[in-house]
Amino acid sequence: MTNEQMTSSETESTDEHEHGREQQTAPTPGSGLTDDADGGGTRSETERTVLEARNLDVFYGDEQALRDVDIDIPENRVTAVIGPSGCGKSTFLRSINRMNDLVDTCRVDGKLAFDGKNVYDEDVDPVALRRKIGMVFQSPNPFPKSIRDNVAYGLEVQGIDDNVDEAVEQALKRAALWDEVKDQLDESGLELSGGQQQRLCIARAIATDPEVILMDEPASALDPVATSKIEDLIEDLAEEYTVVIVTHNMQQAARISDKTAVFLTGGELVEFGETNQIFENPDHDRVEDYITGKFG
């Protein structure tokens, strides 16, 4: 397992407007990434921005993978990231919690702010950042440990040893896995089904109490039943977390997301808006062509 997997948490959530989630109006604390983080992202009348990119460029060596990306990702919503293979979706996710730091050739220009603080500022600790911005990967990657220890891992890393059993139970409940595993917490996480393993990874991410959960095609390796459980879980998670999910599945994006960002070849964010509008009446012909399957 890689360092990036060990240091990141993971979860996902999706949320739909009909859930009627309250608009966030209360002041929110700073990101806590540094002692002097002043916190408080930009705010519109309707929703608070948690993640803000401005003129974001990402390069691998001489190759540019993201080009001048501007985006405001709202709190407690599900934002889907779609686009053809190689357009920079994973690069975008990894630029949010600085997983790209682990790629030697990678260089980032521009601004990527979390709760108003540029995550590329020198005083930001990437490990602390990844606790606040967890990640779930395409293939479920439980550690070769017991179910309990998988979930407790993040707490252990933070040196939290009070009420661990309670925290494990809460995280497993929030990840909709508790009922299936409560009598086998000492068994290996690797013995679970693929869908259960993915929910275990989500529980592991939730346990460290992140604000944001990044998911890179979290259901693409799962069967339809397991996928549907993950989709339901995403909707529930969005009540507490901001979720950004990469998916190749248009129906999934349309079903579970509030906002959709469409990247196209060359690493350009071509359109970002309400999911209904993007799928029903996109502003750009290229987006319509992509969504209707003319290319990609």
Q: Is 91 in the site for ligand ATP (CB under 6 A)?
A: yes
Q: Is 160 in the site for ligand ATP (CB under 6 A)?
A: no
Q: Which is nearer to ligand ATP, 32 or 110 (CB)?
A: 110
Provide the total of helices (H) and of strands (E) in the chain, helices listed first: 11, 10
Token couple for 295: 């290319």
* Rg of the chain over all Cα atoms, to the nearest angstrom: 18
* Smallest separation, CB 195 to ligand ATP (Å): 21
Q: How would you class 142 by CB atoms within 10 Å of its CB: exposed for 0-12, middle for 13-18, buried for 19 or more?
A: buried
Q: How far is CA 146 from CA 98, 100, 142, in A?
A: 28, 29, 9
Binding site for Mg ion (CB under 5 A): 90
Distance of alpha carbon 266 from alpha carbon 286, whole angstroms: 13
Q: Is 90 in the site for ligand ATP (CB under 6 A)?
A: yes
Q: How would you class 175 by CB atoms within 10 Å of its CB: exposed for 0-12, middle for 13-18, buried for 19 or more?
A: buried
Q: Which is nearer to Mg ion, 82 or 202 (CB)?
A: 82
Distance of alpha carbon 100 from alpha carbon 58, whole angstroms: 9
From 13, 37, 56, 88, residue interacting with ligand ATP (rule: CB under 6 A)? 88
Among ligand ATP, Mg ion, none, the one that 277 touches (CB under a kind-dependent 5 to 8 A) is: none
Q: Which is nearer to Mg ion, 96 or 177 (CB)?
A: 96
3-state secondary structure of 189: helix
* Smallest separation, CB 82 to ligand ATP (Å): 9
Among Mg ion, ligand ATP, none, the one that 88 touches (CB under a kind-dependent 5 to 8 A) is: ligand ATP
Q: Which is nearer to Mg ion, 28 or 220 (CB)?
A: 220
Nearest 10 degrees: CA dihedral of 114, 209, 7, 10? -90
Binding to ligand ATP in span 94-123, by CB under 6 A: 103, 105
Binding to ligand ATP in span 47-86, by CB under 6 A: 60, 65, 83, 85-86
Q: Which is nearer to ligand ATP, 46 or 85 (CB)?
A: 85
Residues of this chain that interact with ligand ATP (CB under 6 A) are: 60, 65, 83, 85-91, 103, 105
